[in-house]
Structure 1
Amino acid sequence: MIVYEYPLNERIRTLMRLEDLFARFEHFAARDEALDHHAAMLALFETLEVARGDLKSDLIQELERQKATLEPLRNNPGVKQDTLDEVLRKMTRTVSELQALPGKLGQHLRDNEWVMSIKQRACIPGGVCEFDLPSYHYWLNLDAKVRRSDLYGWLAPFAPLRNAIDIVLQILRDSGEPVQKTAVQGAYQQMLSGRVAQMLRVTLLADLPCFPEISANKYAINIRFTALGGTERPKACDVDVPFELTLCSL
């Protein structure tokens, strides 16, 4: 199965982008090649750009709201208390860690002149060649363990942000129930009828030769399944496509 997720507001879009960047960083930082660690640096720079504004306060407010929702479930016989307690402890710890973060998110990187010099050159196509940044070329030729230690050191202050994003997105994904649907001749539309959703999840069999193109607003969802046409432009599917649709909301 392949799951396609579509955020329905800017906040969830930002959280999903950061989730993807953290995963990309981990993938490349865990490897040993210099080019992999360069890719990890690029993911770190993108994280710095995306993690801006009042994201920290938004996440604190959302976690506090979710805690207030879960607290009344204590001593409910239909709820696993050990699991609930662990979730609440994790939320409390993450809120405290977010509150303890000094200044703006990523300020530790902005204060590092050497890292910022690489970031500035990385915005230029081909701008981090060895003749442009000999110090970066030197760093990329250090032992992989030394580079990895630096990379994780630069990532570490983002840990509370990452934990908060993991909690919020997990709650969001778990909030919906998948429903079997069929896109007749490759097209599907559903009116929301006042229901509030913050994420759509479309699940397809992996062997179906198409992908969903999704558009949505507060009134309706429109999904059009499209197939890649080799060297041609993608073209609309003209067959019925079975899929699962999940509407998620916090």
Structure 2
Amino acid sequence: MIIYEYPFNERIRTLLRLEDLYEKFIFFLHQEHPQQHHVALSTIFEILEVAGRADLKSDLLQELERQKQTLLGFRSNPAVEAERLDAVIAEVDRCSAALMSAQGKTGQNVRDNEWLMSIRGRTIIPGGACEFDLPSYYAWQHRSAEQRFNDISGWFAPLVPLFDAIALVLRLLRESGRSTNTIATGGSYQQMLQGKVYQMLRLAIDDQLGAIPEMSANKYMLWVRFTSQDGDMKPKSFDSDVSFELTLCNF
């Protein structure tokens, strides 16, 4: 099964972008070749661009507090496993405390590093990080893989509380949804939302079908239209019925 996700608002869209960048960063960080570590470092610069919104930290803190109050309300429910509930509440408290203790603007330590900023300025230019442009960076790339790993991990460390909070918020959001088996007749599906507010749509489909969902939604309705690709990767309409699993998520 392939799972596709569609955010209903800009806040969730930003969190999903950061989650995607973080997964990319972790993958390349744990490689050993200098070019792979170059991608990891460049990904930090991309993260700074996306996370540059001043209210991202406060948004996450508010959401974590809201989730905590919601979870506390379940303590009186006999159907809820108390031990598991307490563990999630404790996790929310840990993430909130760590995020609150993070000082300054997101990634300020990277912005204050003139050497890193010189690399960032060159990486936005196609081919701008060549050895004759950045000899000191070229020399750094010839350090051992362990040294480069430790350097990049140190530069990223102040961002860890932010990504722990993002991971927890998105996990709670995904777990909030209920899945339903659905059929798109003739490759197209519409559903009225009847005034209900959702944060994210998740769609799971058998990867053997070759159907690719194109999704859009507003507060009134959601649309899913399936396409396929030919040998030249050009999209074309998928006219057969498509069975898929739909999940609407909301805090």
TM-score, normalised to structure 1's length?
0.98
1:229 aligns with 2:220: no
Matches within 5 A, 1:48-127: 48-53=48-53, 54-74=55-75, 76-127=77-128
Tell me, what secondary structure is at the counterpart of 2:208?
A: coil
CA distance in 2, matches of 1:76, 1:189: 36
Tell me, what secondary structure is at the counterpart of 2:13?
A: helix
1:34 matched residue in structure 2: 34
Shift of 1:232: 5.5
1:169 matched residue in structure 2: 170
Deviations 1:145-181 (A, max 9, x none): 0000011111111111111111110011011111111
Shift of 1:63: 0.3
Instruction: Evaluate the alpha carbon distance shift between residue 84 and residue 122 of structure 1 in structure 2; reply closer, same or farther with a 3 A threshold.
Output: same
CA distance in 1, matches of 2:74, 2:184: 39
Shift of 1:243: 0.5
2:16 matched residue in structure 1: 16
Tell me, what secondary structure is at the counterpart of 1:243?
A: strand
Instruction: Evaluate the alpha carbon distance shift between residue 239 and residue 140 of structure 1 in structure 2; reply closer, same or farther with a 3 A threshold.
Output: same
Is the 8 Å Cα contact of residues 202 and 246 (structure 1) preserved in structure 2? yes
TM-score, normalised to structure 2's length?
0.97
CA distance in 2, matches of 1:51, 1:232: 32
Listed as ranges, the gaps of 5+ residues in structure 2 are none
2:202 matched residue in structure 1: 201
Residue 126 of structure 2 aligns with an amino acid whose one-letter code is: P
Tell me, what secondary structure is at the counterpart of 1:224?
A: strand
Tell me, what secondary structure is at the counterpart of 1:14?
A: helix
Is the 8 Å Cα contact of residues 75 and 81 (structure 1) preserved in structure 2? no
1:3 matched residue in structure 2: 3
CA distance in 2, matches of 1:3, 1:12: 17
Shift of 1:233: 2.1
Shift of 1:210: 1.6
Shift of 1:72: 2.4
Deviations 1:74-132 (A, max 9, x none): 25432222211111111112111111111111101000000011011010011101111
CA distance in 2, matches of 1:222, 1:101: 40
2:188 matched residue in structure 1: 187
Q: CA RMSD in A?
A: 1.0
CA distance in 2, matches of 1:82, 1:49: 39
Is the 8 Å Cα contact of residues 29 and 148 (structure 1) preserved in structure 2? yes
Listed as ranges, the gaps of 5+ residues in structure 1 are none
Tell me, what secondary structure is at the counterpart of 1:161?
A: helix
CA distance in 1, matches of 2:231, 2:216: 24
1:213 matched residue in structure 2: 214
Q: Which runs of 4+ in 1 moved over 6 A?
A: none
CA distance in 2, matches of 1:221, 1:33: 44
1:148 matched residue in structure 2: 149
Tell me, what secondary structure is at the counterpart of 2:4?
A: strand
Is the 8 Å Cα contact of residues 37 and 147 (structure 1) preserved in structure 2? yes
Residue 113 of structure 2 aligns with an amino acid whose one-letter code is: N
- Tell me the percent identity: 53
Tell me, what secondary structure is at the counterpart of 2:234?
A: strand
